[in-house]
């Protein structure tokens, strides 16, 4: 059984850009079942509007993990950003060794 529900994107304020992006990404993916809650035995889509009975979730892809981890500042974040650059065909940023270790140099246009 599939249940549709109305849910607000913002509790006390207008929706943020991230909430709007998640909602439209979910609509584009036809509310793909992503999150399974074993307590309720239901699967939710990304935006939370469509609820399915049972476990219909899937494992995240490597690209989805990289999108999430790219904001991290440690080794995991660097590897995720390198993977995303490789996928999108972007060049590697130049690295200049310094006394403090390697630092990335931003290109000035």
29-80 pLDDT, tens digit each: 777 777 888 999 988 887 777 888 988 888 888 888 898 888 888 899 889 9
| CB-based contact 34:58 (threshold 8 Å) | yes
Domain ranges in the chain? Answer: 2-53, 62-104
Confidence of residue 102 (pLDDT cuts 50, 70, 90): low
Reply yes or no on whether the pLDDT at 2 is more than 70: no
Which region holds residue 20: left if phi is over 0, alpha if psi is between -120 and 50, else beta?
alpha
pLDDT mean across residues, the chain: 77
Q: 3-class DSSP state for residue 72? A: coil
pTM: 0.49
Class of residue 80 by CB neighbours under 10 A (exposed 0-12, middle 13-18, buried 19+) = buried
Rg (CA), the chain: 19
Q: How far is the C-alpha of 77 from the C-alpha of 14, rounded, in Å?
A: 30
Sequence-distant (6+) residues with CB within 8 A of 19 are 9, 10
Structure tokens belonging to residue 108: 């000035």
């Amino acid at each position: 059984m599939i249940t549709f529900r109305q849910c607000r994107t913002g509790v006390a304020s207008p929706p943020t850009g991230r909430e709007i992006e998640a909602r439209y990404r979910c609509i584009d993916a036809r509310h793909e079942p992503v999150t399974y809650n074993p307590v309720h035995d239901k699967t939710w889509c990304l935006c939370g509007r469509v609820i399915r009975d049972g476990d219909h979730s899937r494992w995240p892809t490597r690209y989805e993990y990289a999108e999430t981890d790219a904001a991290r500042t440690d080794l995991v974040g660097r590897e995720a950003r390198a993977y995303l650059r490789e996928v999108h065909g972007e060049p590697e940023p130049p690295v200049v060794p310094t006394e403090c270790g390697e630092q990335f140099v931003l290109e000035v246009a």
